Each structure stands twice: as structure tokens, then as C-alpha cells.
Amino acid sequence: MSDVLTEVDGDVWRITLDRPESGNALTPALAEELAAAFSDRPEETRAVLLLGNGPRFCVGGDVQGFAGAEDPGAFVGQLAHDWHEVVRLLLGTPVPVVAGIHGAVAGAGLGLIGACDVVVCARGTKLRPAYGSIGFSPDGGSSWALARALGAPRALELMLTNGTLTAADAHLFGLVGRLVEDDDLRESAIALAHEVAAGPVRAMVRTRALVRRAAIRTLEEQLDDEAQLIAESAADPEGREGVRAFIEKRPPDFRNAR
């Protein structure tokens, strides 16, 4: 039985975590399959959609597996290494990545959504670092995602008190981009992924790079990078098609801009 399901849905490469009985808890097998899912994205797809089956999106690491390990340090360390490769593959995906999250997101699941480009969140979702409850420090990029979205003081308060964020707070602080009703989560995430896939995906990837680097660069550095990337976009078939469509007063056809 596979822990990760993949399918091509038009322009969208859909990846679904499929360990619903465990809350899609992270195991070595799931990490391996998720890495393969990102690596095997069909070239013709123009966006990735990440979903989770069952009542919870991802509750973080499988604590049952930690308890059964002969050498917990080695086991958890290797699992963190494998999971970090997943996060790196996600960050390097050459098309936009959309996630639809619901139920519960905890531990390494927070790092996973923090690496996505757009996160659609069901209003009933609870987000929790959870590491403190088992005496662990964070992994999976969760400390980065929380510090970036919440700021260091608020992120530390959340992590050190083993607190929980509501979906509304996660949206307010910028950890997730869009809130929808619980029953609409899957349909809304799918629709958004297709909307993104119809857009200028190469310009979107350039935009993603600019936004990710903005926090660690000076304005002068950012201006230089913006000038270079907008020039690349203008020369790209996407940019040429966008300008033509504007002049001709018609919707652009970015899918066929090669």
C-alpha cells in the first residue's frame, strides 16, 4: 500500500498524503514516497497541489515509530534528514505549489506548508508545533516557517508553551494565505491550483524567488534582482503573450506560450 497518491489532473500534479488512520504521520516510507512524488512530476504539468486524506492533513512525525527505535537519536536524525530533502525538493519545484490543509497540522507538517507557495486552510484547522509535548526541538523547517510568519517573539511563545494556532490566527499572521469553509476545502484548493496553472508559471516562480529572498537582502540588492528578473519575464514567451493579449484586449493564453 502506498502512503502517497499521485495523479495528473489536467495541468495539475496532485500529491495526496494517504495515511489517514495515523493523521498522515511522517514515517521513513512516507518521506521517501513524497520525495519521489515531487521528483516525478510530469513535465507538462504547470502546478502542484498537495492534499491529505482523512480528517487531518499531517500531524507530524509518527511517535509510535520513535518509541520503537533501538537508537532514537539515529532514527529521528535520519528521518529529519530525509524529510528535509522533501522540503528542499518542494522549494525547488519549478512550478507553483499549492496546499490544501484541514483538521490538524503539527510538527513537521508546519514546515511542509511553510515551504508551499499558497496555502488554502479550512477554518476548523488547528496548527500546533507539538515538539515540546514529546521533549523534542523543531525540524522540517517548522521553526523557519513560524519565525518568518509570526516573528521571533510570537513564534517562541507558541513553541515554548506548546500552544495552538487557530486557522484564523494562522491567516492573520500570514502562515496561510486563504481561509475557506471546512466543507469547501478540497474543492477550493483544486480550483485554485487550476487557476494558478493557467497563469504565467515561469513569472510566478521568479516572483516566488524574489519574495523568499526579500527578508534577507537589502533594498538595493532586491532592486537589482527585480530588474534582472522582470527583464527575463519580458523576454519570455509568457511575457510576450501577456503584452500581446493586453494590446489586443483578449485573455492571455499562457499555457501555449512556449
Instruction: pLDDT band for 35, please (50, 70, 90 cuts).
Output: very high
> Residue 14: CB partners within 8 Å, gap ≥ 6?
5, 6, 7, 8, 48, 49, 51, 190, 193
* Residue span of the structural domain in which 245 resides: 201-256
Structural domain ending residue among the three candidates 157, 175, 197: 197
Q: Which of 47, 153, 72, 155 is nearest to 111 (CA)?
A: 155
Instruction: pLDDT band for 98, please (50, 70, 90 cuts).
Output: very high
Q: Which of 199, 205, 255 is nearest to 232 (CA)?
A: 205
How many C-beta atoms surround the C-beta of residue 79 within 10 A?
Answer: 23
Same domain, 207 and 186: no
Percent of all residues in the chain with a pLDDT value above 90, rounded to a whole number: 98
What is residue 207's predicted lDDT score, i.e. its pLDDT? Answer: 98
What is residue 154's predicted lDDT score, i.e. its pLDDT? Answer: 96
* pLDDT at 139 exceeding the cut of 90: yes
Structural domain ending residue among the three candidates 182, 197, 212: 197
Q: E strands, 53-202, where?
A: 97-101, 104-106, 118-122, 126-128, 165-166, 178-180
* Three cell numbers written together for 92: 525547488
* Three cell numbers written together for 73: 537519536
Instruction: pLDDT band for 188, please (50, 70, 90 cuts).
Output: very high
Same domain, 61 and 78: yes
Structural domain ending residue among the three candidates 150, 180, 197: 197
Same domain, 118 and 216: no
Please report, for the domain that includes residue 252, its CATH number: 1.10.12.10
- Indicate the number of domains in the chain: 2
What residues does 61 pair with on adjacent strands? 26
Same domain, 26 and 148: yes
